[in-house]
Each structure stands twice: as C-alpha cells, then as structure tokens.
Amino acid sequence: MIAVPAGRENVCSALTKRIDAWSTGSGGVVVISAEPGMGKTTLLDWMESKLASDHPGVVVRVDCRPPIGAINTSAIQPLQPFGAAIEKLYLQSGQAARKRLAVNIGMSVLASIPIAGDLFYAVKAISQDVNEYKRETAAMQEKKRSAVAECVTTLRTIAEKSPFILLVDEAQWSDSQSVEVIRQLVNTLGSTPLLIVWCVSPSMAQRSNLPLSMLLRSDDMRAATINLEPIGQEHVAAVVQQILPTAQIPDTVLKTIFDRSGGNPGIVTEYARFLQGAGHLRPDGTIDEHVFDSIKIDSTDHPATDVILRDITEDDAVLLSLCAAEGQEFTAFLQAALSNTDVLSMIRSLRRLQRTTGLIRSIGTRARYGVKTTAYEFEQSFPYTYFLHRPEYEERKNIHQRIAEILSREYASTQIDELRGQLAAHIAAHGAEAEDNVMVERMLTVMADEAERSGSHDIASYIHSEVLPPYAGLMSSAAVKGVDVKTGEDDAESDGSAYSTGQPLPVVVREISDAIVQGRANEARTAAIRTLETHGGLSRHERVLLTCLAARACVDLGMLDDADTFMRSVASLSDVSPSDHCYMKNVEGAIELARGNSAAASTCFHEAARLAENLPVNVRVMTLGNIILHLRAANDRSVDRYEHTVRRLASVHGWPGVRADLGL
C-alpha cells in the first residue's frame, strides 16, 4: 500500500473516516479543493491503494480531460465522468456479473445515460439490448427529458446492488449536468453505500466552469470540502525522503527547496527528482549543501523535467508534440496514423520514450474513436503543455487538421449514434485548432443534437450560446431561413447542378435553404435529394434537416404527396431530438396549410412552438415566422404580437433577412 503522503496526515485521517462510514452503508460526497501540485492526485492514488487492499474491486476512478485547444470537450459531453464510471463498473467485473447488473438496474436506466466507448465493444449483447430498448419503449422519451435524475437514479441503484467508491480527478473540466448530479447527491447519500471524491482546482473552476464555481460556494459544498494548504517546512524532508529514502539532506538545502516551492509538494517532489537525476546525490547518500548555488534551472517549478526536456532529441520531441496535440491522453492508433507508420512500430517508439524519459505512461487497452487501441497519458501537465505549444503556428494547424481528418473518417464509418457524438467533440476541438470553422460548426451541431436527444438541454443550450457562436454562420443561419413557409415561383430551368456534394455539408444546406427563400424550389429539391443520396456519413440531425428542406421545396412546387412521402421517411426514426422534431412539425404545418387545412396546420405549429420553447433562438424565430404566415392567411388579429416578437428578436440578433422575408 502507498504510504500516507507527507504533510497530509490529517486529510488522510478524514478520508479514512469517510471510507469507514461508507463501509457501514453511509455514503456521501467529499470535495478535495486545491491548486495544481498540491497533492489531489497523490491523495487519490493513496485512497486507491488503501481500498485495493482493504476493499478490493470497489474503486472506480475517472478523469475529466482538459480542453483540446479552445474547446473544452469534457464540458460538452453530458455526464461524461459518470458515463465513464458506469462503463468501468461493467469492465472490471465478470461477464456474468455485467449481464446480471444490466437486468438488476433495468434497461431503461442504462439507455438513459449517454455512455460510449468500451461498453459498446466489450459487452456487445448489452449494447444491442440498449438499442432495442431505445427503439421500442415509448417511455424512453420522457426519461430523456430528465437525464440528471436518471443518472442519480442509476448511481444509487448500482450502489445499492454493488457498493462502490467513485474517485473523480480534474473535475473543474466537468460538464454542467455532472455538477448538477453532485449538487443533488451531496446531502442525500446518508443511507446509500456510494462515496464520491470530487477533486477540483478552484481557480480553474472559477475561470472556466461557472456552475461548479457557484456550487463550491454553497454551504452544503463548503461543509463537504477539504482544502489542501501548502505543507510546512517541517514536512519538506519527509516528502524528499519518499523520493530519496537513503538521502541525507542538509537543512540549508531543505530550506532552499521550501523557499522555492512555497510548500507545494509537487514542486518539492520535482526538486528531489532533480537532485537524483542530475547526479547531485553522492553514493553515500549525502548532498552538497551548496548544490543550488551554481546551478541554473530554467523552470524553477519543474527542475527535474527541465533537465529531461533539455536533453531530449529532436525526433523524440516531434513525436511527443504529436502526442500532445491529440491530448493529455493519446492513443497508439491515432499516433500511428499521424506518423504514417504501423501501430506496432508506434508502440515500440512510445515504450522507448516511456522508459527513457518517464514523461508518459501506458494506461492499457482502451476503446477510443471506435477502435480498440493502447492508450497513453502524460505523467504531468508541465511536459504536456510544453510539447503542446512547441510546434510553430503552421505546424500546429497542420497537425490538428490531420487529426480531424483521421477522426472524420471514423465518424463516417460508424453507425453508432453515441459514438458519433463522442467523436464529434474531438473533431470539433481539433477542427477549431486547424481553423476549419465549417467542420467545427457541423460537429458542434451534432453534439448539441446528441445532448438534446439524451435530455441534456442545458448542455445543448451551452453549446449553442457559448461554444458555437465563434464558428457559426452557416448551418445556424440555414435553420432560420430554410424551413419557413414562404411561397414563390420556382426556377424550372435549374437542375441543382450548382450544388456539389464535394462541398462541406453546411455550405450545401445553406445554399439549399437560400434557394427555397429565393423561390428556386425545384433547384433546392434536386440538390437536397442528391445530397441525401450521395453525401456519406450524414448524422441523424443532418438527414432530418435535409429531408425537411426537400419536403419544404415540394410544398412550393405543389408536390404535396411527395412532401408527405419525405416526411414519412423521417417520422419513423426513433429517438429524434427536440430540435429535429420541431423542424418536422414546422414542415408538416406548411403541408397542411398548402392543402387548406387550417386547423391541422394550427395543431402542427402549436406543437412546434411548444418544442421550440427550450430550443435555440434561431429555431424559435423559424417557428414564430411560420405561425405569423399562418395567422395572416386566417386574418387572425393576434398576429400583431407574434410580429412584434420576431421583429425584436431579428433586430437583437442581426437577422435583417428574416424581417425582409416576413415583411416586417
């Protein structure tokens, strides 16, 4: 078992008491709050080691990964740490136990948690059962509206059947729904054998995770929080002794280390490794008390790593830069594809780097990006950050573009919607670093669609309002303009030849919607059909949107039976997101209005309006625009208030085209 970390005896005592309470059936939430280097991960290592000997098989440990460039992929993946935890519960138990657990907790609960990764490959039978449940159970749609409640229920149910302790590191990167799960559990696990240890960096949470930062200030969370303070000078020797057990460190050296580290145990550990690695530890265990007087250290916080970085070869530095571009966790599969080599050769290279530098380590076989591969991670954030920023601008842009292209091929080849959502987050992040805004917008739209489908409406709203705007301008504007019930003369001469399926999909969608608005309905219909038939790797959202556009073009052409046929082709899809359902209701309303069925059209538009209440503003404006045209056709005086609302929204968001199309 790992020794108690020096200077953290009181913290370990408090954690031991919580473990003892958990073993008697009383769980809870413990927050470990500290800045980088203060020992959060070391404490989790100690807990994991202690529990492995005292309570084998009960620990589930997951990390929230840091952002890739400008996009925090963890924040846009709903319930990511809990989905990963549920996967690990399956993977660390026997096959029979997995199936038994699936029956015990109920397929409805499993299907409501957005899990992807190892579970879909290691437990194929369960995956198939989940997919069948999603298709066949009408109650699923109601459950999807409360993903947080379902996650809480899942965790409780599993813990009651098989008690466990969940350790979550780097939780400052977690999504808002995971934060809500913690808020609901913090005071309600007194009779449930589930203990959650939630490690956060408060300064990073304040900068990048407002929901978590606000939760940490609440009275309940403050009572559950353990703050890690700097260790005192009297503990420095003990930290050094854990690295150099035979060393005899002079008091002057210990004082210098304390002064330079500020009592941060991570930095103290770096200095101990530096003394050993740089050859300052004599054979008899003594160290010159003036050792720091004549030594220039470029990185005073990471002296041991600094020595390694100065000695590393250019070829190894290039390879580590490619690894860092993938993320703090990286894979043999993707690195082999990036380096144009085979996976076995890449594993040999990474094993050599692990042995000679100690900067990376293998974490075993994982299912990533839809394939099983060996995964690695950087041991510390400092070398990861160093190699991440080492390439020049053009190099970084090219590397991320290649990663996005590799992952896009995996995206196009998979038929698993959950896996597509997982891939979309990484493609968007790497696309942003490559400055490929069209790709970013498409993938973020897929992410928002997946979030809505899993009941994570606040995540979808966060993507639309916070993450997407810097990259938007194509698909979002198409959603405003493309499915309104404006009539016009079609361009009978055109056959849609201006549209190439080689174009990025958001561009094609925008051009189709523009053609409908401008009265070129035949051109729009032909282009939509061609794209549906020939464009590879369409997501469910993209297929629904293109089908709605094709049906809408048919309405303008008077081809109402064809419009019905298009809508029937998507009406049978299971698990359609609220935004897609809203698009469909708008087009169905347009069809009924064209037939003169005012009552049926009103029913469709009111259902669309109900769905649009919790959707992005562009979808609400689209729906309100259709309602305006319907009310005008019926000479309904209530149209004035709808016109006022759309006029205001269009002005606020800078959409003069919407006002022009509606005559506002």
Predicted confidence (pLDDT) per residue in 291-310, tens digit: 776 555 554 556 666 667 77
CATH architecture of 473-662: Alpha Horseshoe (1.25)
Residue 95's pLDDT is: 46
Q: Which of 101-115, 334-348, 559-573, 641-655 has the weakest average pLDDT?
A: 101-115
Pick 371 or 303 by higher pLDDT. Answer: 371
Question: Is there a shared CATH topology between the 9-227 domain and the 473-662 domain?
Answer: no
Confidence of residue 624 (pLDDT cuts 50, 70, 90): confident
What are the Cα distances from residue 619, in Å, to 376, 475, 518, 559?
Answer: 42, 12, 20, 25
Pick 93 or 243 by higher pLDDT. Answer: 243
What stretch of H or E contains 220?
A: helix 219-223
Residue 127's pLDDT is: 41
Q: Which residues contact 77 (CB under 8 A, 6 or more apart)?
A: 83, 114, 175, 421, 422, 425, 447
d(CA 391, CA 630): 57
CATH, domain range 9-227: 3.40.50.300
What are the Cα distances from residue 356, in Å, to 381, 451, 570?
Answer: 18, 43, 56
Residue type present at position 427: I
In this prediction, what percent of the chain has a pLDDT beyond 90?
19
d(CA 506, CA 474): 6
Question: Which tens digits make up the pLDDT trace of 315-339?
Answer: 999 999 999 999 888 999 999 999 9
Confidence of residue 405 (pLDDT cuts 50, 70, 90): very high
State the angle between helix axes of 505-517 and 540-556 in degrees (0 to 180), rounded to the nearest 10. Answer: 20
Q: Where are any strands of DSSP class E within 171-230? A: 194-200, 225-227
Length in residues, the chain: 664
Contact 147, 78 (CB under 8 A): yes
Question: Which tens digits make up the pLDDT trace of 147-171?
Answer: 778 788 888 888 888 888 999 998 9
DSSP 8-state class, residue 6: T
The residue behind tokens 């956060």 is 200
Up-side HSE of residue 339: CA atoms within 13 Å toward CB?
25
d(CA 295, CA 302): 14
Q: Is 640 helix (H, G, I), strand (E, B) or coil?
A: helix
The pTM of the full predicted model, rounded to 2 decimals, is 0.63
Q: What mean pLDDT comes out for the span 199-224?
A: 87
d(CA 515, CA 518): 5
Average confidence score pLDDT of the chain: 79
Q: Which residues contact 148 (CB under 8 A, 6 or more apart)?
A: 79, 177, 180, 181, 184, 455
d(CA 484, CA 268): 64
Alpha helices in 414-520 (DSSP H): 417-433, 437-453, 457-462, 475-481, 505-517
Pick 135 or 90 by higher pLDDT. Answer: 90
Question: Which tens digits make up the pLDDT trace of 473-526?
Answer: 544 444 444 444 333 333 333 344 444 445 667 778 878 887 887 788 888 888
Confidence of residue 376 (pLDDT cuts 50, 70, 90): very high
Residue 145's pLDDT is: 46
Q: Sketch the domain layout of the chain as residue ranges.
A: 9-227, 233-309, 473-662
**Confidence check: pLDDT of 404 > 90:** yes
DSSP 8-state class, residue 485: -
Q: Is 591 helix (H, G, I), strand (E, B) or coil?
A: helix
